[in-house]
Amino acid sequence: MKFRRLSRWAIALPVAVTLAGLAGCGSGTPATSTSSAPASSAGGGELTVFAAASLTGTFTELGRSFESAHPGTTVKFNFGSSATLAQQIVQGAPADVFAAASPATMKTVTDASLAGAPTTFVRNKLQIAVPADNPAKVDELKDLADPEVKVALCAEQVPCGAAAVKALGAAGLTVKPVTLEQDVKATLTKVQLGEVDAALVYRTDVIASGGKVTGIDFPEAGQAINDYPIAALTKAPAADLAKQFVDLVLSPQGKDVLTKAGFEAP
């Protein structure tokens, strides 16, 4: 799992991360757009956001806008499997905000009384991802049940894997993947590298690939849509900044960034 302040850094489990050791990783890059969030009057600080891997691009962009609107503030991200991130928070990893790819993974944190009431801010839908040349000629979901087709899926305990199980169940299909990955980015990478013929990933990740893979819609995806909740954590070291970052995500600016990336409004 990697800790990133607009780039990835290592995080140790289960002990808490010493954030001060990452102080040299600031980018100082000005945001290209003006944030709609109010500028902070506190004059700096450090904000740590744990977020689902599928939010990497959009939250990185929002993080830059947040830093621009809050001079002197550093935003650090830990992107990964929502299930893993939830466990890290419960085990004591220091964080201010948690954005999960499913209500079930957020519940792990709220059940431990470590987050306030979460708000669903976007929804995401699965697509079949295939290499650009689609060597296995995959056209629809039932093609993934062909034993000759090499398929990658997310592990069932992570949101993209749970959604895949729902979608395949709705279609009455049994698929035997050649690999089970711990987050959606790793699953998509298998397609990009040509190690598999197809994978079930989020539509937003297909869009973020920039044409490296092709996305195929399928009807059963509508029965496996994931809601994404976000919440400030109750033990947030930077409680004020945490609230302001959540406000940015929920703002018109945040919605614009997310919908452009392919997320749907809740």
What CATH number does residue 22 fall under? 3.40.190.10
pLDDT, tens only, 38-78: 343 345 799 999 999 999 999 999 999 999 999 999 999 99
Instruction: Give the domain extent around 133.
Output: 126-223
Percent of the chain with pLDDT strictly greater than 90: 83
Q: Quick one: pLDDT at residue 43?
A: 53
Based on the domain organization, do 106 and 213 belong to the same domain? no
Residue 203 has pLDDT above 90, yes or no: yes
Q: Can you give the pTM of this predicted structure?
A: 0.81
pLDDT of residue 104 exceeding 70: yes
Sheet bearing 97-99, strands edge to edge = 8-10, 2-4, 73-80, 45-52, 97-99, 226-232, 119-124
Question: Helix (H, G, I), strand (E, B), or coil: what is residue 106?
Answer: helix
Say whether both 82 and 151 belong to one domain: no
The region, left, alpha or beta by phi > 0 then psi within -120 to 50, assigned to residue 223 is alpha
Q: When comparing pLDDT for 163 and 36, which is higher?
A: 163
Q: Please tell me whether residues 201 and 237 are part of one structural domain.
A: no
Residues 194 and 251 in one domain: no
159 shares its domain with 64: no
Segment 116-148, tens digit of pLDDT: 999 999 999 999 999 999 999 999 999 999 999
